[in-house]
Structure 1
Amino acid sequence: MRITMIGSGYVGLVSGACFSDFGHDVICVDKDESKIAALEAGRMPIFEPGLDKLVAANVAAGRLTFTTDLKSAVAGADAVFIAVGTPSRRGDGHADLSYVFAATREIAEAVTGPIVIVTKSTVPVGTGDKVEAIMAELVNGHEVAVVSNPEFLREGAAIGDFKRPDRIVIGTEDARAMQVMRDVYRPLYLNESPILFTGRRTAELIKYAANAFLATKITFINEIADLCEAVGANVQDVSRGIGLDNRIGSKFLHAGPGYGGSCFPKDTLALLKTAEDYETPVRIVEAVVQVNDNRKRAMGRKVIKALGGDGKGKTVAVLGLTFKPNTDDMRDAPSLAIVQSLIDAGATVRGYDPEGMEPAKAMMPEIAYCKDAYEAATGADAVVIVTEWDVFRALDLKRLAGVMGTPVMVDLRNIYPPAEVERAGFAYSSIGR
C-alpha cells in the first residue's frame, strides 16, 4: 500500500518507519525543510532507541522517503495519516487543532482519487467530524473516508510498542475504510494483535481515557508514598502488594516526582476541557492534574529540606533532566519545576542527562551543564536523581560521595537501597520509604 504521513515528528516518524518496515511504501511529509534535509541525510530529529537504524534500512530499501511537497505525496495515496502536533492551547488548556485543520485543507486540495484520511494525532472527541466536514466542503468527485486511529507509543519503547501493540484502535463505520485499515495493519493482524473497530468518536475518547487512567495510577501511588513516609511504611512494598492483584496490575505504580512528557499533561487538560464543554465534569482527572502540579513543586521543597532547610548559597547536582529515560523529551519534565524551585531558594544548579542536554539548555539556560554525574557532583552540597537512566543505577557511590562538598543524596526514583547509599557515606532520602 502507499501511505502518506503528514508530520515527521515523534508519532509520524516512528509510525512511518514502522509501516515501511511492514513493506508499505511510505512518504513522510513535513513543512520544516531543515528537518527533511536532516532525515534525508540520516540524522534523526529526536532520540528514540533503534529509530536511526530502522529509518536507514527502509530508506535504503526504497520504501521510506521524505519530502516537503505535500501535494505530490498525497496524490495517489491509499491512506493519508495526519500526525501533526496538538499542543495545549495557551490560555485555556484546550488542544490546539490548528495544525490538524491546516493539514486537512492542504490534503483536500491534493486529493486525486478515493482516499482514507486517518487522524493519528491525539485529538478531542468530534475532531474527526470537523475533518470530515472540511473534506466534504473542499473535495468534489472523490470518495473520502475519515478514520480515527490513535497512537499508544511510549517514548523510549515506541518501535516495540508499534510492532507488538496491546491493541490497535480504529474508529470508523465505513466498510471501505475498514478494509483499507485492515490492509495497512495486516502484518500485525497476522501476529494476532487485536484490532478494535469502534465508532470514530469512541476511538478519539479511548486515547484520552487511557492516558488519564495511567496518569491517575501514577498520581495515586505518589500520594500513597507521602502517606508511607508519614506512617513509616515502604511504598515499594505497597506497590508490589497491590500490583500483584491482577485487577490493578503493577505498571505505573512507581512513586516518583510526578508525570511529564508530551502526552499525559496535555491530554489530561484536553479531557478536562472536553468534559467542561459537555457539562460532564471528571472530578478525578481534575484532582490528578492538580496533585501532579503540586507534586513537582513539593519535590523541590524535599531537596531543600535535605539541605537543612535552606538552599541559599548551596550547590545542587541534578541527575536526569528528561521526563523519562531513553528519550530527549523535556516537555513538562519534573526537572523543570524542581530546578526552578531550587533556583528560587537561592541554590546553584548543575545538571547532567545522557540525551537531554541540548533541549534542556534551551529551557533552563541558567544552570551549568556537565559531562557526567561526577563532574556535576564535584563540590556539591546535594545530588538529586530525577530521571532513572540506567547510567545512574550503577554509580560508584563512594567516588560520588568523595567528590562532593557534603554527601547528601535525594533519590526521587528509589533506584537505590537505602542501606547501600548510607554505607557509602551519604545522608539519603527517597520517596515513600
Structure 2
Amino acid sequence: MRIAMIGTGYVGLVTGACFSEFGVDVVCVDKDEEKIRRLKAGEIPIFEPGLDDLVANNVKAGRLSFTTDLAEGMKGCDAVFIAVGTPSRRGDGHADLSYVYAAAAEIADNMDRYTVVVTKSTVPVGTGREVERIIRQRRPDGDFDVCSNPEFLREGAAINDFMRPDRVVIGAGSDRSREVMRQLYRPLFLIETPIVFTELETSEMIKYAANTFLATKITFINEIADLCERVGADVHDVAKGIGLDGRIGRKFLHPGPGYGGSCFPKDTLALVKTAQDYGSPLRIIETVVDVNHRRKRAMAERIVAACGGSVDGKTVALLGLTFKPNTDDMRDSPSLDIVPELIRAGATVRGYDPEGMDEAAKLLPDIKYCQSAYEAMDGADAVAIVTEWNEFRALDINRIKTLLKAPVMIDLRNVYDPQEMRAAGFAYTCIGRGTERTGGAASEAAQ
C-alpha cells in the first residue's frame, strides 16, 4: 500500500514513520521547504525517543520519503492523511481548521484515483463532513471517501503507543474505505488490538472526550492535593487508595503544576466552545480549563512563599522547562507561566532542560540558560523542579547544598521524599503531602 501524510509535525512524522515500519510506502508532504530539506538530510526537527533511528531505517529501506510537492506525493496513493496543526484560534478559543481545509482543497485538486482521505489531526465534530463537502465541491466527479482516525500518541512514548496501542478508532461510512483502513492497520489486527469502527462524528467526539477526561483526572488530583495540604493528608497515598479501584484507575493521578502540551489545553477549550455553540455546555470541562489556568500561575506563588515571601533580588534555578519529560515541546508548559511571574517579582531565573532549551529560548528569552542542573543551582537562592526528567530523580543532595546559598528546594513534581530531604537539612516544599510537610519549614529556612 502507499499513503501520503500531509504535515510533518509531531503527529504526521511519527505516524508516517510508524506506518513505513509496517511495510507501507509513505510519502510525507510539507510546505516548509527547510523542514523537508532537513528531513532529507536525516535531521529530525522534534525530539522523540527512537524516532531518529526509525526514520533513518525506513528511508534507507525505501519505504519513507519526503517532499514539498503534494501532486508528486499523492501519485498512486490509496489514502491521504491530513496531519496538520489545529491550534486554538485567536479570540474565541475554537480550533483553527484553516490548515485542514486548505489541505482538503489541495487533495481535491490532485486526486488521480479512488482515495481515502483521513483526518488524523484533532478536529471538532463535523470537520470530516466539511472536508467531504470541500472536496466534492472542487471535484464533483471525484472518487473518494473521508475517514476519521484520531491519534492517541503520548509525547515521549509515541512510537510504542502507535505500535502497541490500547485501541485504534476509525470513523468510516463505507465498506470500501473501511477495507482500506483495515489493510493499513493489519499488523495490529494480528496482535488483537481493538479496532473500533464508528461513524465520522462519533470518531471525532471520541478523541475530544478522551483528552478532556484525562485532563479532568489531572485537575481533580491537583485540587485534592491542595486539600490534602490543608488537612494533613498525603495525596500520593490518596491517589494510590483510589487508583486501585478498577473503575478509577491509577494513571493520570499524579499531582503537579497543571497540564500542558500540544493536546490537552487546546482540546479542552475547543470542546467547551463546541458544546456552547450547540447549546449543551460542559460545566465540568469549563471548570477544568479555568482551574488548570489558575494553577500554573499559582506555582510561582509557591516558589515565592518558599523563598520567604519575596524573590526580589534573588536567583531561582528551574530544573525542567518542557511540559513533560522526554520531549522538547514547550507548548502550554507550566514554565511559561512560572518564569514571567518570578521575573515580575524581581527574581533572576536560571533554567536547565535536557532537551527543551532551544525551544524555550524562543519563548523565554529572559532566562539565563545553563548546561547542567548543577550549573543552574550554583549560587542560586532556591531550586525548583518543574519537569520530572529522570536525571533530576537522583541528584547529589550534598552537592546541591554546597551550591545553593540556602538549601531551599521547591519540588513541583514530588520527585523526592519529604522526610529524607528535611533530614538532609533542606527546606523542602512539595505538593499535597500534608500541611506540616510543605510551605512552613521552607519559608523559615529561606528567611
TM-score, with length taken from structure 2 = 0.96
CA distance in 2, matches of 1:276, 1:142: 35
Aligned to 1:189: 189
Counterpart residue type for residue 411 of structure 2: D
Q: CA deviation at 1:142?
A: 3.1
Partners in 2 of 1:396 and 1:324 — Cα distance? 22
- TM-fit CA distance, 1:76: 1.6
- Cα offset for 1:420? 2.0
Alignment of 1:217-228 (within 5 A): 217-228=217-228
Report what 1:257 is aligned to.
Answer: 257
Partner of 1:396: 396
Determine helix, strand or coil for the equivalent of 1:136.
helix
Contact 2:324 2:387 in 1 (8 A): yes
Count residues with an aligned counterpart.
Answer: 433
What do the CA deviations read for 1:345-400 (whole angstroms, capped 9, x no partner)?
11110000000000000000001000111110111111000000000001001101
Tell me the secondary structure at the aligned position of residue 375 of structure 2. Answer: helix
1:136 aligns with 2:136: yes
| SS of residue paired to 1:56 | helix
Superposed, 1:258-273 pairs within 5 Å as 258-273=258-273
Residue pair 1:128, 1:147 contacting (<8 A) in 2 also:
yes
The answer on whether the counterparts of 2:136 and 2:142 sit within 8 Å (CA) in structure 1 is: no
Q: In the TM superposition, what are the counterparts of 1:135-174 in structure 2 within 5 Å?
A: 135-174=135-174
For 1:141 and 1:419, the matched residues in 2 are separated by 71
* Distance in 2 separating the partners of 1:136 and 1:282: 33
The residue aligned with 2:444 is: none
Separation in 1, partners of 2:6, 2:166: 25
Q: Is 1:179 matched with 2:190? A: no
Partner of 2:439: none
Task: Give the superposition deviation at 1:319.
Answer: 0.2
Residue 42 (structure 2) pairs with residue 42 (structure 1): yes
Name the SS for the 2:202 alignment partner.
helix
Q: Which amino acid aligns with 1:131?
A: V
1:86, 1:142 → 2: CA distance?
26
Which runs of no fewer than 5 residues in structure 2 stay unpaired?
434-447
Instruction: Indicate the residue corresponding to 1:420 in structure 2.
Output: 420
Unaligned runs of 5+ in 1: none
Quote the offset at 1:79 in angstroms: 0.3
User: How far did residue 75 of structure 1 move?
Assistant: 2.3
2:107 equivalent in structure 1? 107
Listed one character per residue, the Cα deviations across residues 119-141 of structure 1 (whole Å, up to 9, x for unaligned) are 00000000000000011111243
Amino acid of the residue matched to residue 28 of structure 1?
Answer: C
- The question of whether the paired residues in 2 share the 8 Å contact of 1:27 and 1:65 is answered with yes
Residue 27 of structure 1 aligns to a residue in which SS?
Answer: strand
Kept in 1, the 8 Å contact 2:322–2:330? The answer is yes
- 1:330 and 2:330 are equivalent in the alignment: yes
- Equivalent position of 1:316 in the other structure: 316
| Aligned residues with identical type, % of pairs | 68
Contact 1:398 1:425 in 2 (8 A): no
Structure 1 position 152, deviation (Å): 0.2
User: Residue 211 in 1 paired to residue 211 in 2?
Assistant: yes
Which whole-Å CA distance do the structure 2 matches of 1:51 and 1:424 have between them?
40
Whole-Å Cα distance in 1 between the matches of residues 13 and 410 of structure 2? 37
Measure the CA separation in 1 of the matches of 2:252 and 2:59: 36
The structural deviation recorded for 1:407 is 1.1
The residue that corresponds to 1:65 in the other structure is: 65
Amino acid at match of 2:142: H
